[in-house]
Chain A
Amino acid sequence: MAHAATHDHHDDHHGAPKNFFTRWCMSTNHKDIGTLYLVFSLTMLFIGGSFAMVIRAELFKPGMQLVQPYFFNEMTTMHALVMIFGAIMPAFVGLGNWMIPLMIGAPDMALPRMNNLSFWILPFAFTLLLSTLFLPGGGPAGGWTMYPPLSLQGDSVAYVVFAVHLMGISSIMGAINIIATILNMRAPGMDLLKMPVFVWSWLITAFLLIAVMPVLAGAVTMLLTDKYFGTSFFNAAGGGDPVLFQHIFWFFGHPEVYIMILPAFGIISEIIPTFARKPIFGYKAMVFAIASIAFLSFIVWAHHMFAVGLPLGAEIFFMYATMLIAVPTGIKVFNWVSTMWGGSMTFETPMLFAIAFVILFTIGGFSGLMLALVPADFQYHDTYFVVAHFHYVLVTGALFAIIAASYYWLPKWTGRMYSETWGKIHFWNSVIWVNVLFFPQHFLGLAGMPRRIPDYNVAFANFNMISSIGGFLFGASQLIFLGVIVHAVWFSKKKATDRVWEGAKGLEWTVPSPAPFHTFDVPPVIHDEDLAHGHVDH
């Protein structure tokens, strides 16, 4: 075969550029860009996390403790924007960049230069966004949902809108790249229905991004023209309607929450089969469930607006449509459990986080179902119950999946094993404190504590104090994560094998650990045992 010969010939092209600036700033390599995304995301996780610490410190006791109300509102707004657009989404893009080409046997992403641009927009977007905190008028403080007229107060509107535009362009370009790569760059034999579930989940997520990020861009553009150019899209005095903003925002916003969970579903569907040493139960059902969740996510947006005074027919439609999502979601949870059933399981750190995901994400799904009931939501809306719901799906859901993926693929990235002991210490601390942090918020919400307030009735004191303690300790636990990563990248002595995990299947495990700078220059010849799903056609 020409394989070996071609390799020798091009040896000078292998290996990363030596110059730091060329390697990282000019990179067109999917692995390096993936690393950049992941490092950026981790940085944002700690910045957004520090905002959360301010929030929990202020809420530790009733009464105004530490910060001014306006600053508190800036913290809730920035915490959400930084976590959603800076931490969760870039983490998934980073994982996709690293793993999609390896999983489908492609040499790189289809559009490597655009890949560079997608990433490098982000640091500028977030510098811009965060800089507003230091402006004379202060940063945005009207909530990440940016409802007018509230969000149009203050002088940071133009900065925030521009920052959101930049993030949107970055995500759209990232999504275009992922779609172009998955649809065209698969190695011969890697048919669509033989792709790993993670790749499928990203393909579907990318279509969601293409459909809704431009809508967000449109919505904030209209905020901008309402503020500075005399339009009145959302201004009742000029013939506009503020509720229209909510419709258009949530037409983006609900698919957005699925953008933050579908790749997580993909990750969990990779990890559980590996550590249960069984193929995923119901591969096609898993793929179709992701696709139906994606479809349904477009017709449920008004469940965020039950309390604005929708016509009764609309309330009923959006209530039932929302409850329908429980069906494909239930299929997924059932299939993860069935994959574990009768498997010979081991409980390394990625698996522990994956199992925690299945249980705790499901709790978040159940509270979502409660919120979907129109009469109940009139009570729960804008209370801490909603805060508890979305932190279960986003922290113990999306973030736990990202952490699980990091442990799972870190040996492939670095060529060394992380410390399993410290990984487990990180896991148990995270899983305990995250529940201490968020579970009491259900009770607070049911008792009527509103979200986004810096002070509260003394009746809510106890659960808030418990929640804050959980928050501080959960935050501190993530420093263990940082320690494990630093150790694994620079200090660990334990070499990783190519396959890393005994039960791991898929093309990404056929390349050496650490994955060389260039892989699959020549499309691999796929064997049955390289496929996690299906067989090679002969």
Chain B
Amino acid sequence: MMSQPQVMKDPGQAQRLRKARRTALIVAAFAVAFFLFSILQMVWLQHAGPAH
């Protein structure tokens, strides 16, 4: 079993952790978007014809 992350000893902490998870999801969504965009724009460039 994965060793448990620390026990929360402060009520504010739980709240901070919830917000942190939301931040993480938003940032992760950006990362995925950048990945897809990097490939999609290449596909688009190919359809638009040679760069020069």
What residues of chain A have their CB less than 8 Å away from a CB belonging to chain B? 6, 10, 13, 17, 22-23, 26-29, 107-108, 110-114, 116, 172, 175-177, 179-181, 183-185, 188, 210-215, 217-219, 221-222, 232-233, 239-241, 243-244, 248, 518, 521-523
Q: Are A214 and B34 in contact (CB under 8 A)?
A: yes
Q: Are B35 and A111 in contact (CB under 8 A)?
A: no
Q: Are A113 and B31 in contact (CB under 8 A)?
A: no
Q: Is the interface of B mostly helix, strand, loop or mixed?
A: helix
Q: How far is the CA of A176 from the CA of B27 in the complex (A)?
A: 6
Besides A180-B24, A212-B34, 6 other A-B contacts (C-beta < 8 A): A6-B9, A110-B20, A213-B31, A219-B38, A518-B6, A523-B10
Q: Are B9 and A218 in contact (CB under 8 A)?
A: no
With a CB–CB cut-off of 8 A, which chain B residues contact A212? 34
Query: Which chain B residues in 13-48 approach chain A with CB under 8 Å?
Result: 13, 16-17, 19-21, 23-24, 27-28, 30-39, 42, 45-46
Q: Is the interface of A mostly helix, strand, loop or mixed?
A: helix
Q: How far is the CA of A160 from the CA of B9 in the complex (A)?
A: 45
With A213-B31, A215-B34, A218-B35 as contacts: A248 and B42 at CB distance below 8 Å? yes
Q: How far is the CA of A221 from the CA of B43 in the complex (A)?
A: 13
With a CB–CB cut-off of 8 A, which chain A residues contact B16? 110, 184-185
With a CB–CB cut-off of 8 A, which chain B residues contact A176? 24, 27-28, 31
Q: Are B31 and A183 in contact (CB under 8 A)?
A: no
Q: How far is the CA of A177 from the CA of B9 in the complex (A)?
A: 21
With a CB–CB cut-off of 8 A, which chain B residues contact A215? 34-35, 38
Closest to B23 in A: A180
CB of B15 to closest CB in A, whole Å: 9
Interface size grouping (class) on chain B: 35 or more
Residue in A107, A111, A222, A232 whose beta carbon sits within 8 Å of that of B39 in the complex: A222
Closest to A233 in B: B42
Q: Are A181 and B20 in contact (CB under 8 A)?
A: yes
CB of B52 to closest CB in A, whole Å: 8
Q: Are B31 and A26 in contact (CB under 8 A)?
A: no
A116, A176, A210 — which one has the most chain B CB atoms within 10 A of its CB?
A176
Q: Are B20 and A184 in contact (CB under 8 A)?
A: yes
Q: Are B5 and A28 in contact (CB under 8 A)?
A: yes
- The 15 listed contacts between A and B (C-beta, < 8 Å) are A6-B9, A22-B3, A26-B2, A28-B4, A108-B5, A110-B21, A172-B28, A180-B21, A180-B27, A210-B30, A214-B38, A222-B39, A222-B42, A232-B46, A523-B10
